[in-house]
Amino acid sequence: MPYGKLRIRTKGSHGGHNGLGNIEETLGTTEYSRLRFGVGGDFPKGGQVDYVLGRFAPEEFEELPKHIERACQAILSFCTAGVQITMNQFNT
């Protein structure tokens, strides 16, 4: 997913993400809402772990505050307006 893009989902697989896998195991279901934050895809096949845990490129780091602010707005909307309204507003 492109860097900074947000996507809210109401269910789905963990997609290899250990944290989401733990949530899925604990809850016993894949039906829980989650917010995905795009990190881009400029890494070789199998290199996503090193990429995600690496440093931001300077231009990405400069844009980070606006992306964090938008993610915070999405979280607040989710808590106050619900998942469907938030998905309509933030999933672009």
pLDDT at 11 over 80: yes
pLDDT at residue 26 above 90? yes
What distances in angstroms separate CA 82 from CA 42, 43, 44, 63, 87, one per listed residue? 33, 34, 37, 27, 9
Q: Is residue 83 part of a domain?
A: yes
**Residue 27 structural domain:** 6-90
pLDDT band at 10 (very low <50, low <70, confident <90, very high): very high
Question: What is the per-residue pLDDT across 49-85, written as a single tens digit (0 to 9) for each?
Answer: 888 889 999 999 999 999 999 999 999 999 999 999 9
- Counting the structural domains of the chain, the total is 1
Whether 79 is in a domain gets the answer yes
Is 35 among the domain residues?
yes
Contact of 16 with 38, CB cutoff 8 Å: no
Residue 45 confidence (pLDDT): 85
Domain CATH code at residue 65:
3.40.50.1470
Mean of the per-residue pLDDT values of the chain: 92
56 φψ region: left (φ > 0), alpha (ψ -120 to 50), beta (else): beta
The answer to the question of residue 1 being in a domain is no
Structure tokens at 25: 């195991």
Amino acid at 10: T
Mean pLDDT, to the nearest integer, of 28-45?
90
